[in-house]
Each structure stands twice: as structure tokens, then as C-alpha cells.
Amino acid sequence: MRSDAIRIDKATVAAITADRLTKARRHQANQQFRVLSTDEKISNNDTWLTKYVIRKLGQDWSPEQIAGRLKLDHNRSISPTTIYSWIFGFSRFRYLSCHLHHIRGGNRRSRLALANRKRREEWKNTIRSIGVRPANVDKRATIGHFEGDSRDNKANGGKGVKVYFCHPYHSWERGSNENTNGLLRFYFPKKMDFGELTQSQLDWAVDRINNRPRKRLGYRTPKRAHEA
């Protein structure tokens, strides 16, 4: 059995760490999976679902994204926990363990919650709280509102843009920003030499991120949501 593996062309090699590249090559070279007994949910009697999960893992989708999109596109249900179980080799489900490197935080059995980033600035009355942000922004009913990191209050004036700050030690109040940081770190890890990064490599990573389904968008991709 073979699957669509992640394709790494010459334009993207420099943007991927040596460790991840080695794992990807090993994954491409070894596509012979273990034979499962007939009582498993995904086995030889459901090769379509097996191939679907493997293909989406190869596109760097998370188990939650795979499960959500499977329900949306094909009206079939599978839990993210089940997919994680296959990947991490629980019980006899070991034949997907070679796809572990496609998952962010890949050597852990579940994603750890992103650590709260402590702010060094004191909470001031002059800062506009995220608690008074308009409801249509929270619901993402309109395009044009952004989340980002800011070291001080200088970004709050001079441009005619209203900036709302989350509370100290409440990084989850800008969850999309934190999630996007994690996605970028997946492709561009810390200590990477950005001086060697080319525009084509950056475009490749951005395209991968913009074509990942988001739970917050009803499992549509950011690209599709923006085009709608």
C-alpha cells in the first residue's frame, strides 16, 4: 500500500530542519504498513478511510482537522482521539506511527496547551481591553480584523486603528495569534537561519497554512473563507 507523501522539492529543502527532512525521506521510503486483524476499525476492509487519513496527515493536517473535514465533506465520523491512537501506536495500532513527524509537537502523545506568555508591562487604564471588542469581531462575521503580538501600547495610536489588548497572562484571548505562531514554528523552527530563507520557501509554507481547515471557520480553510 502506498500513499501520497509530503513532497519536498528543491525550493523547500532549506526551510526544513535536517531532522524533519530525514524523517520525511524515511517515511517516503517505507510505505509498507503492518497487516491488521479484521476486527480493527481501519483495516483492509476500509482502505479508502485509511488512505484519506494518511493523505491528510501528509498535508500536515491535525487529527481534529481530519475528523472535522471528513464529516463535512463525506458525512463520515471518526474521532480525533482514534486517529491519535493510531498515530502514537496505542495497542496494535502501530502502522501509522511513521506519520508522527507530521504532527506539531510530534514526539508527545497529545498537544500541550501553549504556555501563557507573561507580559512585562503593567496593566494600565489607558489600554483598551479585549472585553469591549465588538461582538461581530468575536464572531468573525467580517474580514479585516487581526490578532497579533505587541510589546507596548505604541501601536494603539497614530494609524487610526483601534487596538484591543488581552488581559495579562491571558494569551488564550488571542488564540488565533498563538495558533498561527505555532504553525509558523512548525515550518520555521527556532534558531533557523532566516537569512537563507527564500521567498518561494516562505510562499510554500504560507500556502500550506492557508489550506489547512480551521475548526473556528467550520472546518473551511482560511483561503476558502476569504474567497467566500
145-173 mean pLDDT: 71
Is 129 a residue whose pLDDT tops 60? yes
pLDDT value, residue 9: 52
Delimit the domains of the chain by residue range.
13-112+199-227, 113-197
Span of 5-14, 16-25, 35-44, 170-179 with lowest mean pLDDT: 35-44
Cell matching residue 151: 510589546
Residue spans of beta strands (DSSP E) within 54-209: none
At residue 114's C-alpha, the angle toward residues 113 and 116, to 5°, is 115
At residue 201's C-alpha, the angle toward residues 197 and 206, to 5°, is 115
pLDDT value, residue 158: 57
23-31 mean pLDDT: 51
Closest CA to 64 of 47, 136, 56, 197: 56
